[in-house]
Amino acid sequence: MFDSERGWSICYVGCGFLGSYYVGVTHCLMERAPHILRDARMTFGVSGGALHCHCLRRCLPDDIHLRISGKACLSLTRVDDFKNVLVSEFHSKEEVVDALMCTCFIPFYCGFIPPSFRGVRYIDGGLTNNAPCIDSKTTLMVSPFYGESDICPKSMSTNFQIIDFINLSLQVCSENIYLTIRALVPPSTKVCTELCFRGYLDTVRFLEENGVCDRPQPSLSAPCGELASQGVLAAPEVKLEDDLLDHLRLSIRQWEERFLQILSPKLILALRETAKDPDGYLSKVCNLLLVKVLCYALLPCTLPVEMVVHAVHR
């Protein structure tokens, strides 16, 4: 939990292909409460959360090991004894890359030979500790799964049963079953847009409930002149009545409608650009239902060939 007196850390739990949720969370924090990211004592990451944790440090520059040592912590699972290992000190950029490869490696799904870090083989840290922290009382937990994390989606289900799964509290609901499947299967661009949008809204709700928002933010209906006077980069006018927001409205609850009025114009423009379907006849052909059915039907033939090619390449 966020504690301004005792200090705090941030933990991005393992999430597989749901990492775009963290993009929305981080964008909201950078806009509305940048001190939470700037002043965090430690940033923990697992699997996809680890990749996002380090993307905050500008896509691994040459001195990345100097920037993150003592500030970012990765969760790994040692193959020899299946014990969880937390790594926060790095001596080179190569060590950072090796550790990231280890924490994202799911046995059989990613390959058969686990990568190594400092001569020892490791696999995904989420298999033994999916929510690492030093002090849970002062750690801000961020998770794309429904549960009891500080920043996470909130279900309207009347089922309040909570289970502890690899150090992460999850709510028993159909939404988490769907998200678990999405975490293992690469989602479409539209799903990634929804996840980013959900991460932004959940963070706004967290900041509002805890009263840690630095300043009121301009809404989508604010005129461009007002945005410029507040020091916000002027963006083209964004109308609420567009296809993107109409689609995003389908994924939110009625009581969250008011958050649409305070969304970042830059975020909406970025989501709209990302959600655009690629042009060209080849893209349209690949999206045909018949073509998709044929691709899935041919998997028993194409998958073994791809596995052999991958094994030979390794």
- For the stretch 222-258, pLDDT in tens is 444 443 444 443 444 444 445 666 666 666 666 666 6
Other CB atoms closer than 10 Å to residue 270's CB: what's the count?
16
- CA distance linking residue 125 with residue 106, whole number of Å: 9
Q: What's the pLDDT band for 267 if we cut at 50, 70, 90?
A: confident
Contacts of 293 (CB under 8 A, 6+ apart): none
Residue type for 164, please? D
- % of the chain at pLDDT higher than 90: 24
pLDDT of 72-121, one tens digit each? 999 999 999 999 999 999 999 889 988 988 988 888 888 888 999 999 99
- CA distance linking residue 87 with residue 96, whole number of Å: 10
Can you give the C-alpha Rg of the chain in angstroms? 21
Active-site pick, 20, 47, 143, 264: 47
Adjacent-strand bridge partners of 116: 121
What does the pLDDT read at residue 225?
43
Contact in structure between 154 and 201 (CB atoms under 8 Å): no
- CA distance linking residue 209 with residue 72, whole number of Å: 27
Per the listing, tokens 């999916």 go with 130
What does the pLDDT read at residue 209?
87
Q: Which of left, alpha, beta for 253 (phi over 0: left; psi -120 to 50: alpha)?
A: beta
- b or e along 81-95 (b: 16 or more beta carbons within 10 Å of the residue's beta carbon)? eeebbebbebeeeeb
- CA distance linking residue 84 with residue 138, whole number of Å: 21
Question: Helices H, strands E: what count in the chain?
Answer: 13, 9
pLDDT of 294-311, one tens digit each? 776 777 777 677 667 666
- Cα→Cα distances 180→118, 145, 156, 175, 220, Å: 31, 8, 19, 9, 33
- CA distance linking residue 87 with residue 200, whole number of Å: 29
- % of the chain at pLDDT higher than 70: 68
Element (H, E) at 75: strand 72-78
Query: Angle, nearest 10°, between helix axes 48-55 and 93-103?
Result: 150
Active-site pick, 9, 75, 98, 124: 124
Domain boundaries, the chain: 9-184, 217-273, 281-313
Q: Is the pLDDT of residue 64 over 50?
A: yes
Q: What's the pLDDT band for 155 if we cut at 50, 70, 90?
A: confident
What does the pLDDT read at residue 311?
63
124 is catalytic: yes
- CA distance linking residue 257 with residue 249, whole number of Å: 8
DSSP-derived 3-state class of residue 4: coil
**Mean pLDDT, residues 19-33 taken together:** 91
Tell me the range of 78-92, 133-147, 159-173, 233-247 where mean pLDDT is highest: 78-92
- CA distance linking residue 238 with residue 268, whole number of Å: 8
- Cα→Cα distances 136→8, 48, 209, 225, Å: 10, 20, 19, 44
What does the pLDDT read at residue 143?
94
Q: What's the pLDDT band for 213 if we cut at 50, 70, 90?
A: low
92 is catalytic: no
**Mean pLDDT, residues 212-229 taken together:** 46
Q: Is the pLDDT of residue 194 over 70?
A: yes
What is the separation of C-alpha 260 from the centre of its chain, rounded to a whole number of angstroms? 21
Contacts of 123 (CB under 8 A, 6+ apart): 76, 77, 79, 102, 105, 106, 107, 114
Q: Which of 145, 149, 148, 99 is nearest to 125 (CA)?
A: 99
Q: Are strands 72-78 and 43-45 parallel, antiparallel or unpaired?
A: parallel
What does the pLDDT read at residue 227?
38
Q: Is the pLDDT of residue 176 over 70?
A: yes
Q: What's the pLDDT band for 221 if we cut at 50, 70, 90?
A: very low
Q: Is the pLDDT of residue 198 over 70?
A: yes
